[in-house]
């Protein structure tokens, strides 16, 4: 994504006693992008966010906003705003009063405040009649919109989001994911979003940064992260995956000791001696004979799961379980415990290290 970096991190580190929570991160955030930081619990993503918002100060390194170092600038002095998981709305105030809060603190005229609140409510699809409605009477999705409108009223350069959808039911969460992406496009603001949910990151983001043990292990577009993971950790974190331990035995061949077989691969990268071959479930297919694909394994159909428009199959090959995914109209007609052949082509393989 082309653009001018609005926020730059240089060797950013945060240490608590003997524990390094964020370890030497270098990263540029582009103006107007939707950037999502994902990672398991304890990976450092929340500590990183707290440093970016001024709620924690870095142990070393720099945070540059439009080229200016802001490490020591407190949260209330930064042109940024946070939307918390808890939303932190004022329960004793109306929707309008919540949205107008930052404007009131700035001494903005009441009529101007109200006009701005109503403008944001229209943009975020909140009925005008909600202006005087107590915020506790709003639904979960409506409160999310109120919190976002309040943040936008502050006119921040960057909006930070700390897992704001994690406590919402699945159907509403899917709706709000799309709405957030639409709002991002409409406002043109820079969104920096923290989540442990791969699904949220894939749906909404221009770029994704994957964190592990305080480090950014890969940064890229959703497509790049999904189709070209650089490590086994990233490949497994970014969705269902089939992983086979392999060693290189030639320029385009591998040995899978677990299955006592050789596998064909795209040219093995220079320097690769051992690691993992990753095959996404949609790259696997059921075949009638070994010659139909570059690689083939025999197993037994163990189970199937209907996932709306898709069907996932579990196939046991020895002690290993493979996942095969098909569109529902291409569903496999086998039965549990049937002997089956599964295969994939060399171009469907991804080689990664640990």
Using CA atoms of 154, 92, 85, 203 in order, give the dihedral in degrees to the nearest 10: -70
- pLDDT value at position 334? 86
pLDDT digits (tens, 9 = 90+) for 128-160: 999 999 999 998 888 888 988 999 998 899 999
Residue 220 contacts residue 201 (beta carbons within 8 Å): no
Q: What is d(CA 154, CA 39) in angstroms, rounded to the nearest whole number?
A: 29
- pLDDT value at position 123? 85
- pLDDT value at position 11? 98
pLDDT digits (tens, 9 = 90+) for 320-341: 999 999 998 888 988 899 999 9
* pTM greater than 0.75: yes
Strand order in the sheet with 215-220: 80-83, 158-162, 190-195, 34-38, 207-212, 215-220
- pLDDT value at position 1? 46
Q: Residue 329: helix, strand or coil by DSSP? A: helix
Q: Count the neighbouring beta carbons within 10 Å of the beta carbon of residue 97.
A: 19
Residue 211 contacts residue 5 (beta carbons within 8 Å): no
140-153 and 95-105 helices cross at what angle (nearest 10)? 20
Q: What are the counts of helices (DSSP H) followed by strands (DSSP E) for the chain?
A: 8, 20
- pLDDT value at position 313? 96
- What lies within 8 Å, CB to CB, of 122 at 6+ separation is 128
Residue 214 contacts residue 208 (beta carbons within 8 Å): no
Give the residues of the chain that fall short of pLDDT 50.
1
What are the Cα distances from residue 306, in Å, to 104, 184, 201, 309, 328? 52, 33, 23, 8, 8
Identify the structural domains of the chain with CATH numbers, from first to last.
Answer: 5-227 (3.40.50.300), 240-352 (2.40.50.100)
- pLDDT value at position 3? 60
């Amino acid at each position: 994504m082309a653009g001018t970096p609005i926020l730059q991190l240089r060797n950013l580190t945060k240490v608590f006693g003997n524990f390094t929570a964020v370890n030497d991160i270098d990263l540029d955030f582009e103006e107007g992008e939707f950037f999502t930081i994902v990672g398991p619990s304890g990976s450092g993503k929340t500590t990183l966010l707290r440093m970016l918002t001024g709620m924690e100060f870095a142990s070393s390194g720099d945070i540059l906003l439009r080229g200016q170092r802001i490490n020591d600038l407190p949260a209330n002095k930064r042109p940024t705003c946070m939307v918390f998981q808890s939303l932190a709305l004022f329960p004793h105030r109306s929707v309008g009063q919540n949205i107008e809060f930052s404007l009131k603190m700035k001494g903005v005229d009441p009529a101007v405040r109200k006009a701005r609140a109503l403008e944001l409510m229209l943009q975020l699809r909140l009925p005008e009649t909600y202006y005087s409605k107590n915020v506790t009477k709003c639904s979960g999705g409506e409160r999310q919109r109120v919190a976002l409108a309040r943040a936008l009223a502050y006119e921040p350069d960057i909006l930070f989001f700390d897992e704001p959808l994690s406590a919402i039911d699945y159907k509403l969460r899917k709706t709000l994911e799309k709405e957030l992406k639409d709002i991002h496009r409409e406002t043109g603001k820079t969104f920096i979003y923290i989540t442990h949910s791969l699904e949220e990151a894939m749906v909404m983001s221009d770029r994704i940064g994957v964190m592990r043990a305080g480090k950014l292990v890969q940064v890229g577009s959703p497509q790049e992260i999904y189709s070209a993971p650089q490590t086994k950790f990233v490949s497994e974190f970014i969705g269902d995956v089939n992983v086979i331990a392999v060693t290189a035995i030639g320029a385009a061949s591998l040995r899978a000791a677990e299955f006592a077989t050789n596998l064909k691969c795209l040219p093995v990268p220079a320097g690769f001696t051992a690691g993992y071959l990753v095959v996404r479930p949609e790259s696997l297919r059921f075949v009638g004979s070994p010659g139909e694909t570059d690689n083939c394994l025999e197993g037994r159909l163990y189970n199937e799961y209907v996932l709306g428009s898709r069907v996932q199959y579990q196939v046991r090959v020895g002690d290993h379980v493979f996942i095969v995914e098909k569109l529902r109209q291409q569903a496999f007609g086998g039965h549990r415990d049937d002997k089956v052949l599964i295969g994939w082509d060399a171009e469907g393989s991804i080689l990664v290290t640990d």
